[in-house]
Amino acid sequence: MGWWRMLHTSAMLLAMVLSPSLYARESRRVLSARICLISGQILPRFILLSALVSIVLIHIVVVTAQSYGLSQYALGMVVRVLVVELLPLSAALFVTLRADMAAHTEFAEIQKRGGRLSLVDVGSEPIRLSILPRIIANTVAVISLTTISGALALLIAYLRVYGPTPWGIESFTRTVGQVFEPVVILSLGLKTLLFSLAVATIPVTAGLVGLHNREHAPVTVPQGTVRLFIMLIVIEVCSLTAEFY
């Protein structure tokens, strides 16, 4: 499976996601169930994990900055590193593990039943009721996880630096305003969106190609995982380049 084919298939899947027929009453029910299933499984664990990691990282950064007499830069550094860089990537990787394994299982079942899917047949039931809802649910999961964990990290950072008092809000707000320049906000939004689309489409694309080429099936899915990781790294590097150069 070449990169071009993967990108082409992903683009077709995304185009199908925009199809209004997907949001008809019956499909919407399936879509809601899929969103609940994926987000319900991942969200609590990820929020708990990200909160713990945030507490530890914030503590390390704040204490280290204080020991060097640079505590005024600690909060800005925490927000920049944690909210802008680490949490979106962590959310994407967390959903990747879940989406990749689920895609494996699902396509293995379809393969066992001897089925073959084609993107040409947009209205086919497996694509409409299984694959497209999965893509949307994974996209929503990545964006939700990033947003909620980011908000939680900001709250933890405030409480760690200023304590449970409202007197630090003005200073905190000013620091957040300095970190989130327009370029950084744009970069964060685009990065999260591209992460979510990559995580949602690349495992499904690899699975679909595997159904077409049964002899390559054991290879295509791991290849899809590798490509997904490469794509995530490329997006992250592009984002860092846009932010710092």
CB of 35 vs another protein, minimal distance in Å: 4
Of 17, 9, 230, 11, nearest to 138 (Cα)? 17
Part of the chain binding another protein (CB under 8 A), chosen from 13-21, 70-78, 224-232, 235-243: 70-78
x/- site string to another protein, residues 133 to 152, per CB under 8 A?
Answer: -------x--xx--xx-xx-
CB of 226 vs another protein, minimal distance in Å: 26
Part of the chain binding another protein (CB under 8 A), chosen from 11-19, 90-98, 175-183, 218-226: 175-183
Residue 60 interacting with another protein (CB under 8 A): no
Residue 49 interacting with another protein (CB under 8 A): no
Residue 101 interacting with another protein (CB under 8 A): no
Q: Which of 3/23 has CB closer to another protein?
A: 23
Q: Are 171 and 74 a contacting pair, CB within 8 Å?
A: no
Of 127, 193, 129, 145, nearest to 41 (Cα)? 145
Residue 48 interacting with another protein (CB under 8 A): no
Residue 23 interacting with another protein (CB under 8 A): no
CB of 152 vs another protein, minimal distance in Å: 10
Pair of tokens at residue 217: 């099936």
First to last CA, the chain: 34
Q: Which of 126/168 has CB closer to another protein?
A: 126
Residue 39 interacting with another protein (CB under 8 A): yes
Q: List residues near another protein by CB under 8 A.
A: 28-37, 39-40, 43, 70, 72-73, 110, 113-118, 120-121, 124-126, 129-130, 140, 143-144, 147-148, 150-151, 173-174, 176-178, 180-181, 185, 212
